[in-house]
Amino acid sequence: MNSTDRRLLRLAAEDNVLTAITRLPAGEELWIDGEKVRLAATVPLGFKVAARFIRQGEKIIKYGVPIGSAVRDMARGEVVHTHNLKSDYLPTYTWEQQAAYFSHSQ
């Protein structure tokens, strides 16, 4: 499980996502668990990327515990955020959703 780029932090051994400890630009090539990956999108500081292929419906594990479920398949190195991960408890509200709500209600 070694040879992962030092700019990606694994918080627990069983995690299937890694946290970027600095901004990683799109196109950057880096190692994740011994495999070379080219980032399709920029990963801002603190954002997550998939540590391996993750199937739709699978639990996303960070800090060693589930933080929600994958809403679609993800490739290794793909950014994991509101577009492909949802809470198992409560909906996540974003500014886009609020903007859509207010434009609809006017």
Partner 1 sequence: MMQGYLRSDGRKGIRNVLVVAYLVECAHHVAREVVQAFRGQPVHLIGFPGCYPNDYAFRMMQRLCTHPNVGGALLVSLGCESFNRTELARHIAATGRPVETLVIQENGGTLRSIREGCQWVEKALGQMAEAPRVGMEARELVVGTICGGSDATSGITANPAAGRAFDLLVEQGAAAIFEETGELIGCEHIMAARAARPELAPEIVACVNKAARHYATLGHGSFAPGNAEGGLTTQEEKSMGAYSKSGQSPIQGILKPGDLPPTGGLYLLDVVPDGEVRFGFANICDNAEIAELMACGAHVTLFTTGRGSVVGSAISPVIKICANPETYRRLAEDMDINAGRILEGEATLEEVGREIYEKILRTAAGEPTASERLGHQEFILTYKTFEPVGPACLPRV
Q: Which of 90, 102, 103, 105 binds partner 1 (CB under 8 A)?
A: 90
Q: CB burial class (10 A; 0-12, 13-18, 19+) of residue 12?
A: exposed
- Say whether residue 98 binds partner 1 (CB under 8 A): yes
Residue 16 or 19 with smaller CB distance to partner 1: 19
Asked whether position 41 contacts partner 1 by CB under 8 A, the answer is no
Residue 65 binds partner 1 (CB under 8 A): yes
The reply on whether position 56 binds partner 1 by CB under 8 A is no
**DSSP track, the chain:** -----TTEE-SSTT-SEEEESS-B-TT-EEEETTEEEE-SS-B-TT-EEESS-B-TTPEEEETTEEEEEESS-B-TT-EESTTTEE-SSSPPP-HHHHHHHHHHH-
Find the shortest distance in angstroms from Cβ 12 to partner 1.
10
26 sits near partner 1 (criterion: CB under 8 A): no
Query: Is 101 a binder of partner 1 (CB under 8 A)?
Result: no
Choosing from 95, 102, 103, 106, the residue that interacts with partner 1 (CB under 8 A) is 95
